[in-house]
Amino acid sequence: MTPEAKSQAIAAALILLGAGLVIYFLPTLVLWIGQYSPALAFVVGAILLLGFFAVFWLRARYQRKRGGE
């Protein structure tokens, strides 16, 4: 395994681990925030879920700029 491939694998694993933790605790967090404001709970939930896709989108843009595949 090349150093670049190893780095990419580690980055992907960390991103997936972070996303897994967020998704695991998301229902508890949204229900807790929903006690105060249902609209705020919706916004926080949407931001956290969209953040998962935003991380991969930003990483893909970074890879394209660097000339990676």
Domain count, the chain: 1
Residue 34 corresponds to which amino acid?
A: G
Q: What are the structure tokens assigned to 6, written together?
A: 């190893």
Residue 29: exposure state from Cβ atoms within 10 A (0-12, 13-18, ≥19): middle
- Residues in the chain, total: 69
pTM of the model: 0.68
Q: Which among 49, 47, 41 has a CA at the least distance from the CA of 23? A: 49
Quote the pLDDT of residue 68. Answer: 59
Quote the pLDDT of residue 69. Answer: 57
pLDDT digits (tens, 9 = 90+) for 7-66: 888 988 998 898 889 889 999 999 999 999 999 999 999 998 898 889 888 888 888 888
Contact 41, 31 (CB under 8 A): yes
Domain coverage including residue 39: 3-66
Quote the pLDDT of residue 35. Answer: 96
